Structure 1
Amino acid sequence: MKIAYDYQTFSVQKYGGISRYFYQLTKHISKTEHTAEIFSPLHINNYINNLPKELVNGRFVDAKYIDRIPKKSRIIGSINRSLSKRNIELFNPDIVHETFYSKHKTYKKSKCTVITVYDMIHELFDYYLPPHHKGWDEKKDAINRADHIICISEHTRKDLIELFDIEEEKTSVVHLAYDNSAIVDNKRLDNQRPFLLYVGWREWYKNFKPFLKSISRSKSIMNDFDIVAFGGGEFTTEELQLISELGFKNGQVRQVSGDDYLLATYYSQARAFIFPSLYEGFGLPPLEAMSYNCPVISSNASCMPEVIGDAAEYFDPSSLDEMLESVEKTVYSDSRINELVSLGKQQIKKYSWQKCASETLSVYQSII
């Protein structure tokens, strides 16, 4: 069987969850008797830049050069669409797996087309979005024309079926996996106060501001712990104002950026990882935290119980009191910390990229 992955995610992501997912699929499927190849004539992605050349039909272009091109998205997109269609036609695949949502089919011939749906956030929370973000016609078009749809959790499949009126038989669930290949450098965080860790984007459904508000209600937490927000960009003026208004000391809540190695070190040294999100399609950070022996305190919304199992202290993300109660009874209990670490070690055994690739291959084989 021959599988082609299109250019879409690799032409816009240097790094990122979606491009990492397809990088891992290509990497693992290529080790089987099947053939997988990425068709991205011009790409900026660092993951696939490290794959063997025979697995990537295209070339890496440093993003700093592409950024200099006027109307770069339109021009690069046009080049990639034209060249990849021709190259995929020459490859003659059995399966074309589109890496994101587009109005136009990657490959015109009647080969099986697969799309992966990562979440239904924009449909469920459209009232948070500015007008130009609403609609998502490309997503609907891609889903409706696909021969089969892979969802990354049962919860995402349920939302997809309900919101887009998709037949269940047209869908499958394949869980993602996590990466913990980074080596921890414990020396990098010497002389820091105990801290609670938050990772990733902070706006909108991620629920970061309510998390800060809940923590600020506890004198003991305020006295004993710092808050580290890893990634997600520097704090906005609004966030800095809120941090000050809530009574946090200068530097007590800080934003940190860095590579996977630094993130691994923060996971390994945090008292706990906090995941207050209102909705996730899958939710990789809790699994990453578990892989570095970091106890998880998580929202009980959407797919979190499905993915995390019993390896977290849960709370209702809409309740500041419940959120705070979960944090306090965990971080001040060594026995609960040790229990969550132990449960996390067992939970992450359920997920691997090899398993993800194997189950994805089974989906491909079932539709050709």
Structure 2
Amino acid sequence: MSHQADFVQLHQVLSSYQAYWKLMPFACDTQPWQDPALQAKLAALSDDAIAELDRDPIARQAWFIECFPKLAQLPELPAFDPRQPEPELPFWLSNGIPGRKVGQIQQFCAMLPESKLPVLEWCAGKGHLGRMLAYSQQREVISLEWQATLCEQGQQLARQYQLPQRFVQADALSSQGLAMLAPQQQVVALHACGELHLQLLRSASQQGCQQLQLVPCCYHLIPEQQYQPLSQVAQQHDLALSQHDLKLAVQGQVTAGARIARLRQTEVEWRLAWQALRTELSGDSNYQPLASVSKQIFSTDFLSFAKWAAGQHQLVLPAGLKLDGYLAQGQAHARLVRRIELVRHLFQRPLELWLLYDRALFLEQQGYQVELGTFCAPSLTPRNLMLRAHRQIQ
């Protein structure tokens, strides 16, 4: 099937089931679906079983497939075959890079087509990807990064290892950053966030960059409250995605350690406990989100968190307030939220694919030939979808 046909099929499925994923679980006081078969499936699951299914997309879909049979009809992307050997790196080159990140970079590099073009590394950070390309292929690499400290650290490493890598300190969204794009160029971006990779696609296609290899991430990090589709096809099949909807596309995670898992559970329970307390203090039962906060606070106690949350919502905690009842409400509400999220997560990958196909169709409109696939196993990173595009220079 063509990319357009696959996209339309994804759109039809997501659109027909949108009542099950276009909602805010934290704002739900009861199960939001009047679906006896689905309610029975959820009721049959213990808390431990919920957690197990949430970690296993294949088992999750198998459990719910009778409720959502159209999910079985969706297109699946192939795993890319390596275009070149996975680079073997000396220990000193990968020193300081987290182990999982090293594996991601190595497998990304193996999926790149052989090329003699100069490389532009988009949103480079310390330039780990560019450094590996410069070492393994002895090609000129320009690493674009807006944080001066990261540029200095990356350039120091390039000099130390005598690699043909040069850092340019500039905002990728600025005219200076966009001026780094050129026709005779291979642009690479591994886990480039939201607007940063959207602007790359717009500008690289406008400049006529010959090759582009991208692994997108953080689709929700855009300046608009609602997603603006890139391609004409997606504009005609718009899902009207909010930033909250877009967050669903990046919710899959590699299994975390026990401590991180406990902190996540505590965070959900405390935020929901605060919602119950805030409702009583303010008389307003409408859900009001809280800002992100350092995870360290969830290693303290609920009173400390409640004081912080009260400040966020311009409320004052009464003296001598008993908090146990609110914590119990938060824990009960969290059990409901986990069940709603489990159902929503059935649509995480289809939504992520919808967004990826929108990007592919946009590039095809600009005259590119585009391939879509996975560059590594999801155990290495759940954001493993890769777009490879090239255009012949006239």
TM-score range, shorter chain: 0.3 to 0.5
> What is the TM-score when the length of structure 1 is the normalising length?
0.33
More strand by share: 1
> What is the TM-score when the length of structure 2 is the normalising length?
0.31
More helix by share: 2
Structure with max Cα Rg = 2
